[in-house]
């Protein structure tokens, strides 16, 4: 099979478009899934895809089209490159305009081969899991979960001399525990670069504590509660907020970050709480691509920006909205700095201290959650989100967990919620329960929220 570099160079040679961008991506993944203390599925897969973006420039603007094919060999490239150009020629001029491509950036690792994983990565895991299944079965409980180790490599080459490479290892392990009758459940999850870092026994200990807390159960009504959100739940809410920070939508007036009277809310103090939401490609243990890699243009990304370097960016700076997701095109329109999306996210507070239990210790009467689920936008005007609590909600009295309570449906806006943060823990690595499929690299604190809106009771257990 041809190397990614050979495919990229050959595609550029063959292109007759005014400009051409080629992305070659490879992915090697191994995964195991289990339920009811037994394996349910597993898999190993290798993928290999070439994307050719043809740019045809004219006096009225640039026409673009992206075409991707998997399993491509050198002999397939002539057709692919030709079809890509023909598609572009038939498009009207693109909305993201004719910005010149990034020029002449070559990474030192451009020549490196794609990364791989092996099935043997799982030996360490299966030993831990087998013990977990045995212990659960003898306690009359079930274990459910998923483990995945994935190594993806991306090669970006352009007709303007860009040759960049990014290799991204990603490991995700999730473990759910349920009592035999299904009335009690708990979840723990971890995201890291290497499978060897995952300690199944530590996840198991976390489950045992939560399942033990659930032995006493009381019913609580819907209402507004003093609520402690663990880092995973905070990650899910702030990932959604981050995805909603598109500069164009704000500029056009149909986003929570649009300003009445016109323009965006950048510069506005969203909260007096000194919290900072930021991304940084070099974030410790959450490293991600250091350059823009866009196989298609969209509302928040532009193929013209391929190869732009990414720099540490604060989206909210000590409570003030400081940046939105930008392309060069949208930065030009909005008159704001060029701050493209980055594939990790961190929330820190100036005075964050301790962990989840430290926050619980300060609660006189309230709730401690485990994680959130089925989060969907109800109203973009306020960024009102709805969703459910899942796998363990606990009543806190006098600073201690005293019982498990029923699940709730919440209706909350992460933007409105910023003003009701009463305490925060230190920031730690975490895996978002819901969006962790797509967005795995997050560092979040636990947050204590005043009057978190539990709209209705869910009978789910």
Query: Of residues 113-132, which lie at the interface with another protein (CB under 8 A)?
Result: 119-120, 122-123, 126-127, 129-130
Q: Name the residue nearer to another protein (CB basis): 127 or 196.
A: 127
382 binds another protein (CB under 8 A): yes
Choices 229-237, 252-260, 311-319, 362-370; region in contact with another protein by CB under 8 A: 252-260
Q: Name the residue nearer to another protein (CB basis): 133 or 315.
A: 133
94 binds another protein (CB under 8 A): yes
Cβ-based neighbour number of residue 120 at 10 Å? 8
432 binds another protein (CB under 8 A): no
Site for another protein in 20-79 (CB under 8 A): 29-49, 64-71
As given in the structure block, the two tokens for residue 223 are 């209402």
Nearest approach, Cβ of residue 120 and another protein (Å): 7
439 binds another protein (CB under 8 A): no
388 binds another protein (CB under 8 A): yes
Nearest approach, Cβ of residue 353 and another protein (Å): 25
Helices (H), 396-446: 414-417
Among 335, 376, 397, 400, binds another protein (CB under 8 A): 376
Among 58, 100, 221, 253, binds another protein (CB under 8 A): 253
For residue 107, the 8-state DSSP code is -
- Cα–Cα dist 156/309, whole Å: 13
- Cα–Cα dist 100/443, whole Å: 35
344 binds another protein (CB under 8 A): no
Choices 99-107, 266-274, 276-284, 373-381; region in contact with another protein by CB under 8 A: 373-381
Q: Name the residue nearer to another protein (CB basis): 278 or 448.
A: 448
Give the list of residues 6+ apart from residue 384 with CB closer than 8 angstroms, or none: 377, 378, 411, 412, 413
Q: Please, is 45 exposed, middle or buried when counting C-beta atoms within 10 Å of its C-beta (0-12, 13-18, 19+)? A: exposed
93 binds another protein (CB under 8 A): yes
Nearest approach, Cβ of residue 358 and another protein (Å): 25
Nearest approach, Cβ of residue 399 and another protein (Å): 25
- Cα–Cα dist 369/434, whole Å: 14
Looking only at the bridges linking them, the beta strands covering 38-58 and 19-35 are antiparallel
Choices 4-12, 100-108, 361-369, 385-393; region in contact with another protein by CB under 8 A: 385-393
Give the list of residues 6+ apart from residue 256 with CB closer than 8 angstroms, or none: 244, 380, 381, 382, 383, 413, 415
As given in the structure block, the two tokens for residue 33 are 């899934």
As given in the structure block, the two tokens for residue 387 are 């969703």
Site for another protein in 208-247 (CB under 8 A): none
Q: Which of 304, 301, 324, 298 minimizes the C-alpha distance to 313?
A: 324
Q: Name the residue nearer to another protein (CB basis): 237 or 348.
A: 237
Using CB under 8 A as the binding criterion, the count of chain residues that bind another protein stands at 110
- String marking each residue 277-306 x if it binds another protein according to CB under 8 A: ------------------xxxxx-------
Nearest approach, Cβ of residue 112 and another protein (Å): 20
Q: Name the residue nearer to another protein (CB basis): 70 or 284.
A: 70
Among 117, 176, 214, 442, binds another protein (CB under 8 A): 176
Give the list of residues 6+ apart from residue 461 with CB closer than 8 angstroms, or none: 182, 183, 184, 185, 406, 407
Give the list of residues 6+ apart from residue 265 with CB closer than 8 angstroms, or none: 250, 257, 258, 259, 321
């Amino acid at each position: 099979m041809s190397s990614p570099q050979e495919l990229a160079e050959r595609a550029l040679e063959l292109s007759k478009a005014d400009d051409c961008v080629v992305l070659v991506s490879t992915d090697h993944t191994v995964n195991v899934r289990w339920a009811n203390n037994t394996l349910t599925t597993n898999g190993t897969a290798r993928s290999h895809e070439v994307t050719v973006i043809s740019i045809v420039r004219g006096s009225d603007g640039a026409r673009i089209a992206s075409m991707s094919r998997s399993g491509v060999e050198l002999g397939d490239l002539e057709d692919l490159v030709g079809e890509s150009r023909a598609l572009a020629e038939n498009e009207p001029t693109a909305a993201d305009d004719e910005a010149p491509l990034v020029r002449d950036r070559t990474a030192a690792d451009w020549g490196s081969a794609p990364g791989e994983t092996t099935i043997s990565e799982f030996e360490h895991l299966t030993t831990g899991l087998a013990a977990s299944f045995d212990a659960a079965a003898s306690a009359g409980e079930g274990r459910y979960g998923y483990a995945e180790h994935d190594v993806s490599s991306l090669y970006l080459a352009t007709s303007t001399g860009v040759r960049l490479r990014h290799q991204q290892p990603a490991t995700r392990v999730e473990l759910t525990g349920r009592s035999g009758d299904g009335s009690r459940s708990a979840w723990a999850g971890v995201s890291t670069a290497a499978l060897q870092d995952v300690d199944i026994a530590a996840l198991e200990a976390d489950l045992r504590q939560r399942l033990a807390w659930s032995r006493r159960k009381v019913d609580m009504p819907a209402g507004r509660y003093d609520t402690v959100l663990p880092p995973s739940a905070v990650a899910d809410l702030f990932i959604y907020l981050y995805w909603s920070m598109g500069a164009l939508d704000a500029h056009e007036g149909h986003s929570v970050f649009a300003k009445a009277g016109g323009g965006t809310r950048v510069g506005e103090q969203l909260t007096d709480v000194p919290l900072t939401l930021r991304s940084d490609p070099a974030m410790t243990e959450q490293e991600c691509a250091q350059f823009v890699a866009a196989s298609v243009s969209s509302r928040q990304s532009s193929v013209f920006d391929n190869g732009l370097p990414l720099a540490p960016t604060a989206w909210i700076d000590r409570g003030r909205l400081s940046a939105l997701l930008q392309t060069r095109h949208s930065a030009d329109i909005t008159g704001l700095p060029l701050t493209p999306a980055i594939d990790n996210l961190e929330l820190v507070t100036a005075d964050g201290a301790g962990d989840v239990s430290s926050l619980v210790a300060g609660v006189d009467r309230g709730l401690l959650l485990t994680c959130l689920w089925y989060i969907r936008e109800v109203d973009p005007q306020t960024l009102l989100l709805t969703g459910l609590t899942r796998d363990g909600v606990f009543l806190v009295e006098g600073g201690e967990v005293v019982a498990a309570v029923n699940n709730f449906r919440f209706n909350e806006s992460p933007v409105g919620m910023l003003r009701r943060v009463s305490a925060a823990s230190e920031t730690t690595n975490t895996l978002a329960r819901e969006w962790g499929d797509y967005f795995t690299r997050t560092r979040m604190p636990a947050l204590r929220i005043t009057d978190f809106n539990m709209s209705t009771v869910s009978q789910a257990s």
